[in-house]
């Protein structure tokens, strides 16, 4: 498609469908329905709704996103993508609009029966229109495709699986809802940091044993102070806080601080948490904490957890990710051997992504083998090929030779995209060859599209020659 029709398509589309900056006010969302008290995500959904009604859009978007992470089986998950996108749309920044677009595309792929699907399509058109006006090529191409369905739809990079963020503890043990500066009791506890462990630990144990409502802030501070005192009891004290403290933040922070306590006692405590806790947030932090202990046993515990079929899928995904951050030969071999034993496409996708992050020629070759395996799901094969293409460990000559060997049209299409992403002469040469000689007309058009995106002077010359034929 030439630039002129593309520009006209954007103008036509956006003139009919004003975006957030052109409209006098953004479209109001459909009624936010909620009220299933039995749903584990109900209270968080209510809180997100209140934030949206108060025009706290960034906070609302984060809460709708958090709902999916914390309660992946909630009945609100499908619609949460739409509400997150709507909140981000109202903020109006380019980054937020792109994130909103991704949320809506995820909903379309994973939750096609969500009650907000019709509203989501309308919202996506508005977002694409606004992004196109700001120069977003992907948005402009999507609009052009809507106007001219004959134009080739370029392959886009798969969205990487959501990677977990490392928990962030309060600075110096500060906790939410606690006024550290004005509470003299907190000031007294801060002074404990200057004591040696023999004197400080018994005092801190006394604080952590309290259960009155007025001691919550003290206990939150105390778990941090315990982690800073190296004593034979440190791990046991923190483990007891995880198991018995009534405050959620105390329990979660106790797990986090176990990640900072060296030694096998801390690893044993975290193993106990992972096995016995029924709190998903606590288990999530235990997985992260174990990943911070570079001992062989900590790695073995995480690998064992990944293999547990009774464990929540989203927590197994996180364990897979954190294993990939420790690029040991053992972890690499484990993930590659795990892949064929998994039934869940989500877990398989996480393994593909994680192996790609571990780099190395062996891993890149393994990803190519998955891409060539015709018994695998085609979408997983395409993702494996994409991630292999992101690695410079595989020579471009291997991808060029692969294109001529494979028969699957979707794999060829993905290879064309790989060539477009590699800024190497042989990759552009292969796009030229496909554009000239590929029997499949649609594949030739896709190659031409990506040649048009190249900044190599040879690309412009090639297109000129093609036009003058």
- CATH code of 112's domain: 1.25.40.10
* Residues 8, 141 within the same domain: yes
> Does 242 have pLDDT greater than 90?
no
> Does 158 have pLDDT greater than 60?
no
Q: What is the C-alpha separation between 339 and 371, in angstroms, rounded?
A: 13
> Does 292 have pLDDT greater than 90?
no
**Mean pLDDT of all residues in 197-218:** 86
Q: What is the C-alpha separation between 237 and 322, in angstroms, rounded?
A: 26
Q: Domain of residue 53: give its range.
A: 3-147
- Asked if residue 419 lies in contact with residue 399, where contact means CB atoms within 8 angstroms, the answer is yes
**Mean pLDDT of all residues in 349-377:** 89
- Per-residue pLDDT of 245-255, as tens digits, reads 899 889 888 88
Would you state the pLDDT for residue 215?
87
- Among 130, 147, 164, identify where a domain stops: 147
Specify if 349 maps to a domain.
no
The most confident of 30-39, 79-88, 140-149, by mean pLDDT = 79-88
* Residues 20, 139 within the same domain: yes
Would you state the pLDDT for residue 213?
79
Q: What is the C-alpha separation between 148 and 141, in angstroms, rounded?
A: 10
Specify if 384 maps to a domain.
no
Specify if 318 maps to a domain.
no
Closest CA to 151 of 423, 364, 398, 452: 452
* Residues 39, 123 within the same domain: yes
Would you state the pLDDT for residue 197?
79
- Among 230, 247, 268, identify where a domain stops: 268
- Among 268, 284, 311, identify where a domain stops: 268
> Does 153 have pLDDT greater than 60?
no
* Residues 12, 126 within the same domain: yes
Would you state the pLDDT for residue 46?
87
Q: How much is the mean pLDDT over the chain? A: 81
- Per-residue pLDDT of 217-230, as tens digits, reads 889 888 888 888 87
* Residues 22, 109 within the same domain: yes
* Residues 137, 12 within the same domain: yes
Would you state the pLDDT for residue 6?
41
* Residues 141, 204 within the same domain: no
* Residues 28, 118 within the same domain: yes
**Mean pLDDT of all residues in 139-155:** 58
Specify if 359 maps to a domain.
no
> Does 37 have pLDDT greater than 80?
no
pLDDT band at 178 (very low <50, low <70, confident <90, very high): low
* Residues 140, 180 within the same domain: no
pLDDT band at 336 (very low <50, low <70, confident <90, very high): very high
pLDDT band at 180 (very low <50, low <70, confident <90, very high): low
Q: What pTM, to 2 d.p., does this model score?
A: 0.58
Query: Is residue 375 classed exposed, middle or buried when 0-12, 13-18 and 19+ CB atoms within 10 A define those classes?
Result: exposed
> Does 238 have pLDDT greater than 70?
yes
Q: What is the C-alpha separation between 314 and 67, in angstroms, rounded?
A: 13
Specify if 415 maps to a domain.
yes
The count of structural domains within the chain is: 3
Specify if 387 maps to a domain.
no
- Per-residue pLDDT of 392-418, as tens digits, reads 777 888 899 889 888 889 999 999 988
* Residues 182, 134 within the same domain: no
pLDDT band at 147 (very low <50, low <70, confident <90, very high): low
Would you state the pLDDT for residue 224?
87
Provide the phi-psi class of 424: left if phi over 0, else alpha when psi is between -120 and 50, else beta: beta
Rounded to 5°, angle at Cα 447 from 443 and 449: 115
* Residues 178, 95 within the same domain: no
Would you state the pLDDT for residue 155?
60
Buried b (16+ CB within 10 A) or exposed e, 334-355: bbbebbeebeeeebbbbbbbbb
Q: Which residues contact 235 (CB under 8 A, 6 or more apart)?
A: 258, 261, 263, 265, 266, 268, 269
Specify if 233 maps to a domain.
yes
Specify if 463 maps to a domain.
yes
* Residues 198, 110 within the same domain: no
């Amino acid at each position: 498609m030439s630039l002129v029709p593309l520009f006209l398509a954007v103008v036509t589309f956006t003139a009919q469908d004003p975006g957030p900056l052109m409209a006098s006010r953004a479209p109001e969302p459909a009624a936010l329905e909620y009220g299933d008290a039995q749903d584990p995500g109900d209270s968080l959904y209510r809180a997100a709704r209140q934030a949206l009604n108060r025009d706290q859009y960034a906070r609302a978007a984060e809460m709708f996103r958090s709902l999916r992470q914390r309660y992946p089986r909630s009945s609100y998950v499908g619609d949460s993508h739409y509400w997150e996108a709507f909140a981000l749309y109202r903020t109006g920044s380019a980054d937020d609009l792109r994130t909103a677009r991704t949320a809506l595309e995820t909903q379309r792929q994973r939750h096609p029966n969500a009650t907000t699907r019709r509203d989501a399509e309308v919202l996506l058109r508005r977002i694409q229109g606004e992004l196109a006006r700001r120069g977003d090529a992907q948005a402009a191409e999507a609009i052009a495709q809507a106007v001219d369905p004959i134009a080739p739809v370029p392959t886009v990079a798969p969205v990487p699986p959501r990677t977990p963020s490392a928990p962030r503890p309060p600075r110096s043990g500060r906790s939410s809802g606690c006024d550290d500066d004005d509470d003299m009791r907190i000031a007294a506890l801060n002074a404990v940091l200057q004591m040696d462990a023999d004197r400080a630990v018994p005092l801190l144990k006394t604080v952590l044993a309290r259960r009155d409502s007025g001691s919550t802030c003290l206990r939150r501070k105390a778990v941090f102070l315990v982690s800073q005192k190296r004593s034979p009891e440190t791990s046991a004290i923190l483990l007891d806080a995880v198991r018995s403290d009534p405050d959620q933040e105390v329990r979660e922070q106790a797990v986090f601080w176990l990640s900072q306590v060296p030694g096998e006692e801390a690893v044993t405590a975290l193993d106990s948490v992972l096995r016995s806790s029924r709190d998903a947030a606590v288990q999530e932090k235990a997985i992260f904490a174990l990943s911070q202990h570079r001992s062989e046993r900590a790695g073995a515990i995480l690998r064992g957890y990944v293999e547990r079929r009774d464990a929540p899928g989203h927590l197994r995904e996180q364990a897979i990710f954190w294993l990939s951050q420790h690029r040991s030969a053992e972890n690499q071999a484990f993930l590659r051997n795990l892949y064929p034993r998994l039934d869940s496409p989500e877990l398989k996708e996480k393994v593909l992504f994680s192996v790609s992050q571990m780099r190395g020629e062996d891993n890149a070759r393994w990803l190519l083998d998955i891409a060539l395996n015709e018994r695998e799901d085609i979408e997983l094969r395409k993702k494996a090929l994409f991630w292999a293409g992101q690695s410079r460990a595989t020579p471009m000559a291997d991808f060029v030779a692969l294109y001529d060997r494979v028969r699957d049209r979707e794999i060829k299409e993905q290879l064309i995209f790989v060539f477009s992403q590699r800024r190497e002469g042989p990759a552009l040469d292969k796009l030229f060859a496909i554009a000239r000689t590929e029997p499949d007309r649609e594949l030739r058009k896709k190659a031409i599209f990506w040649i048009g995106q190249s900044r190599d002077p040879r690309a412009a010359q090639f297109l000129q020659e093609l036009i003058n034929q």
